[in-house]
Structure 1
Amino acid sequence: MDNSNIQQYMASELILAIGDIPTYALYGEVGDDPTADWVHCETIQIRSRLHNYRILPHRHEKLFQILHLAEGTAEIVVDGRSTQLIGPAIVTLPPMTVHGYTFSPDVQGTVLTLFDSRLTHILAEMDGVRETFRSVHLISLHDHEDAARTLTADIASLAAELAGRGSARSEAIQARLMLILIALHRMQGASQTDGGRSPVRRALQHALRFRELVDLHFRSHQPIEIYASRLGLTSPHLNRICREHLGDTALGVIHQRIILEAKRYLTFTSLSAKEIALALAFDDPAYFARFFKQKTGLPPLAFRAMQQDAMA
């Protein structure tokens, strides 16, 4: 998919249907320019006003997004948790994050979208930066006035490159995007000076890579030994790293991810508990119900009722 045209991939609210949670490639129009087929840029206003300034919860399968809220307000819901943002602010969203927005009618800003695989390629030689963007970040720019001005200028320059037809256009777009990503990384206080050579830094990289593998394979219920082997670690070593950097055992991290997905299904779909159990590769729906209650304190349908009451 890396070499496909992103504007074709993003066309017409394409739903990829994982369960009943809408999984959009993205809204967009088919373009005819092959020189920047991996990135898309549009204003928040032009898309949100078509939907009365409300974008219902959905997720993108293979796309990474940066939303720059320059002016106005936004309520963002990420995995059922609501946060109010007042511009200027930045939101970064890795693939498969369930999110939705309600914007004020005076909203101004930009949404940048690119293939997550291209993000990995761009940041491949920049140790520590890629890890920053494996998680959701909501960044207020009110305390970063100089950085906010620079980001606004860099995003405007990137949009101008996309709209133009200059020579080395794709390379210029990539360079502008890299500056934006580095600025956001620095705001997170994530810059490292040890080049990844310290034991602590290496352990953190293993922990983040493990979490990435869990995101890919949690439905298959693989044993810890398989994950450890893929990381070149022993199971006890992986457990120590997870406790130190992720706050739980390796098995606990896997269980957290399964429960998160179950909560998403219960909150955003009408699937029955049995259907959700099957979607998460539980052979016994009764065991799934017990597992869910053990981890959350509520049976699945009671959790759904609670979420519906809260959203109402």
Structure 2
Amino acid sequence: MRTVPTYSLYGVNSSEPLLDQLHFESIASRSQLYAWEIKPHRHERFLQFLYIHRGSGEALLEGRKERLASGSLITVPPHHVHGFVFAPDVDGIIVTMTDTYLRTLLAGLPGTVPLFEHPRHDRVARRHALAGTLALFREEMESVSPWRGASLSALLTLMLVGIARIAEASAPAKTQAGSRPARHFRQFQQLLETDYREQNDIAYYAGAIGVTPTQLNRICRQLAGHSALQLIHARVLAEAQRDLLFSDLDIKQIAMTLGFSDAGYFSRFFARLTGQTPTAFRESGRARLPAFAIKDALNATDMAGAADA
């Protein structure tokens, strides 16, 4: 039985934590060991940044294919499925940190952590301040200078601030304010991410946040355009779709892992929200999602096989 692989670091068994809370290396040093292809996987508690100084590649982010080029900056939070194919001429860095270390670095910047909760692909212009910070980070990580650790930590904080500014600028204005509804909504998102497999109702989340179910619905509609129940269902659906596309779990197994009492109930839930049965979605989704590859650099491989990593 194959699920979506969960790695600590590119194929390292997830039971082996990083020696420190931070790890960094060149893209080439790791990916060339795997014929320049990192197959779809996810991390349980690690957040990653990949930055391409020169060269090209492709990224798979939650089933969406992104073309990578010079200046591409990819942010991958925990739990999100991702994979990469790089051209052999790629020159870039990979930074991996624990989510707790991220929160530590951003402790003095309230409201910034939620900006790192979704995968991002940003293009950083050569003259952008963030590009300069990334270049300095690479220089420092390749050096053996005194106080290297302190310098890397400071540069990493600057990197996070730069990424947060880009994310904040692209966020809808109504979600930028640090108002009480916005804080309650972030609490709801964090609880939902932790408990979505438990099939909790709206009253559970509202009580945990300290609001009424009516208030929670109002907040969700104001900030996300959907009711709290719709957001709960959407989170469960997203995980079901990941498992259908990237694992070989059968329908009953997927239903059980998501808290459904039987496969029939899960299938009706899925069909109501997508208009397709789980089996039809798996077949059509995989047909539309061939293995991503760089022309003339790698031979195309079947996406179902890519999930076997």
The normalised TM-score by structure 1 is 0.83
- State the Cα distance separating 1:201 from its structure 2 match: 3.0
Matched, 1:122 2:98: no
- 1:297 aligns to what? 275
- State the Cα distance separating 1:28 from its structure 2 match: 8.3
Cα contact 1:282–1:288 (8 A) shared by 2:
yes
- 1:153 aligns to what? 135
Cα contact 2:202–2:213 (8 A) shared by 1:
yes
- State the Cα distance separating 1:191 from its structure 2 match: 10
Cα contact 1:132–1:190 (8 A) shared by 2:
no
From 270, 282, 285, the equivalent of 2:248 is 270
- State the Cα distance separating 1:240 from its structure 2 match: 1.1
Cα contact 1:78–1:98 (8 A) shared by 2:
yes
- Give the whole-Å Cα distance in 2 for the aligned partners of 1:240 and 1:157: 49
- Give the whole-Å Cα distance in 1 for the aligned partners of 2:166 and 2:240: 32
- State the Cα distance separating 1:165 from its structure 2 match: 6.8
- 1:86 aligns to what? 69
- Give the whole-Å Cα distance in 1 for the aligned partners of 2:267 and 2:11: 40
Cα contact 1:76–1:100 (8 A) shared by 2:
yes
Query: In 2 relative to 1, CA 79–146 (structure 1 residues): closer, same or farther, beyond 3 Å?
Result: closer
- State the Cα distance separating 1:158 from its structure 2 match: 4.5
Matched, 1:188 2:188: no
Query: In 2 relative to 1, CA 158–126 (structure 1 residues): closer, same or farther, beyond 3 Å?
Result: farther
Query: In 2 relative to 1, CA 101–180 (structure 1 residues): closer, same or farther, beyond 3 Å?
Result: same
**Partner SS, residue 91 of structure 1:** strand
Moved more, 225-234 or 41-50: 225-234
- 1:253 aligns to what? 231
The normalised TM-score by structure 2 is 0.84
Counterpart of 2:223, as a letter, is H
**Partner SS, residue 145 of structure 1:** coil
**Partner SS, residue 114 of structure 1:** strand
- State the Cα distance separating 1:216 from its structure 2 match: 0.8
Cα contact 1:239–1:250 (8 A) shared by 2:
yes
- State the Cα distance separating 1:87 from its structure 2 match: 1.6
Cα contact 1:158–1:176 (8 A) shared by 2:
no
- State the Cα distance separating 1:37 from its structure 2 match: 1.5
Counterpart of 1:141, as a letter, is V
- Give the whole-Å Cα distance in 2 for the aligned partners of 1:189 and 1:254: 24
Moved more, 289-298 or 144-153: 144-153
- Give the whole-Å Cα distance in 1 for the aligned partners of 2:38 and 2:280: 27
- 2:15 aligns to what? none
- Give the whole-Å Cα distance in 1 for the aligned partners of 2:263 and 2:176: 46
**Partner SS, residue 117 of structure 2:** coil
Matched, 1:55 2:38: yes
- 2:193 aligns to what? 215
From 9, 22, 26, the equivalent of 1:43 is 26
- Give the whole-Å Cα distance in 1 for the aligned partners of 2:201 and 2:130: 45
Q: Deviations over 1:146-199 (max 9, x none)?
A: 325413333224514xx63734x544332221011111112224499xxx996x
- 2:55 aligns to what? 72
Cα contact 2:37–2:84 (8 A) shared by 1:
yes
Moved more, 235-244 or 295-304: 235-244
- 1:166 aligns to what? 146
- 1:5-44 to structure 2, matched below 5 A, reads 20-27=3-10, 37-44=20-27
Query: In 2 relative to 1, CA 178–252 (structure 1 residues): closer, same or farther, beyond 3 Å?
Result: same
Counterpart of 2:266, as a letter, is F
Moved more, 77-86 or 37-46: 77-86
- Aligned CA RMSD, in angstroms, stands at 2.5
Q: Which runs of 5+ in 2 are unaligned?
A: 13-18, 291-309
Moved more, 112-121 or 220-229: 220-229
- Give the whole-Å Cα distance in 2 for the aligned partners of 1:20 and 1:197: 36
**Partner SS, residue 188 of structure 1:** helix
Aligned residues with identical type, % of pairs: 35
